Structure 1
Amino acid sequence: MIFKRSIARLRAQNWAAITIELLIVVVGVFIGTMVANWNQDRLERRDAAKMLRELRPALTDFVDFFETAKIYYATTRDYSEAAFGGWQGDPAVSDEQFVIGAYQASQIYSLGLNAVNWTQIFGGNQLQHVDEPELKKSLANLMTLNFELIDTPAVDTDYRRNVRQVIPEDIQDAIRAECGDRVIPGKPLTQALPRRCDLDFPDARWSTAAARLRSRPQLTEQLRWHRAAVAAFLSNMELFEQQTHTVIDQLDDDPR
């Protein structure tokens, strides 16, 4: 309707009316765009606030993982001491303890979450709508950490693969079934490894398996490297733990 009137007045050379109607159209488009942008920004900020509310329990799961990883790898280190004792012929280490220790020393526990997954799960696109500058900065720092440092490849060493080629499969199956990883109830990212493992195999079976391990002394060097990789994993994990606690503290201080 406005367009038709404008054409008619253009023919009549009514420039004042044409100008006014064009201004009405331009202002209407401008206001409509402003309202749409305001509404979109409001929705995005609402989603960002929702993300922050949901972030606290997820970060608590992270903290649970950090705490249990320390205990887990302290347990595997104890098993590795028994394995070293078996390779060194320590009479205090039985063949059963030697074989079980060699296997359990190769057990690994990682977060299994890379930076891309973290960003998708916890709203990387919504980060720009977080109003608190320090919280935004801390959350961005956590998102951009190199998650590969605490992922499975960091501790999946040659020792883990090679020692499992030597230990008989039935013994490995029994260790996994009776003394393998256990998920801690109510904590989805956590696992525990039993500190002791006793299995019902004949002594001769343990002796044969122990002899196979002793015939491959190079595994001791690989085990030392494996322990070094685990130590690096735990050291890198401290950075993630510190940054996670920083975000949690700032979330707790946030009034929303």
Structure 2
Amino acid sequence: MVVFDAAMWSVDGFKVVNLKVSHDSITTHTLYVKQHTVREHNEHKPSDRTLFILNVPPFIDETFLRDLFNKAGEIERIQLCDKPTSAEIVETTSLFYKKPKVGYKVAYVVYKKSAGLQKALQIRELKPENDVPKLCSGVLKWIHEYNNGIPNMIELKTKVDTYMENYDKEIKKKIENEKASTEADDEGWITVTKQGRKPGFERKESVTNKIAATKNSKQQKKELTNFYTFQIRESKMNHVIALRQKFEEDKKKILLLKQSRRFKPF
């Protein structure tokens, strides 16, 4: 249901913003914006400073959105994702293998001040600045993404060599620590570890807890009851105490029955 307001159009709580991708463009694209609100506070997307945008076309990126919405105020960060989410979007750190976002997206524009959000909610129409580069779409966009998806072999080799060098250093340090642990300490004790071609693997915490629980259950089964003299004495004393308690309870019950004239011993 579309409701016409005196100030602007609104659709189910979203305010409609017309977007022109270029100054000479005849057609417009519709964006739907509103203040981002969630039940729990999110430090990465504060409700008083975050603008939630729907229907973001595939050819629009973070740079283009920043150029469009920075008129309302200084922007702290912009996040593009495939569907709405309250969690922080963690981008891949790889410089060579980046999966491009396809299809229509949603965007979160976080302003540095809440006044920027209020100004952004009053925008009716957006136009790119003169210095915004021409957008790449269609077949040209696919070619551009394919060419960017091919990694630079020299940079890739440098990255792999650096990673393997750091990995070798960690393995060497681990071996040195294991050798140091086999040496006798000040008191003459030596820590024994499993060595050989297959030294095994580190156990998970769940496996360690399960083994400990099994060991405890077996230890409890091994304990003998009424084997020692003190155990027999304690069991007899506990039995006598239980009988005395039961005798006192029976006496109270009989007294109550006598008072209610329901006591008939014969």
For Structure 1 versus Structure 2, the TM-score category normalised by the shorter chain is under 0.3
Instruction: Select the structure of larger CA radius of gyration.
Output: 2
Q: From the two aligned structures, give the one with the greater helix fraction.
A: 1
Higher fraction of strand? 2
Q: Could you tell me the TM-score, scaled by structure 1's length?
A: 0.24
The higher relative CO (CA closer than 8 Å, separation ≥ 6) is in 1
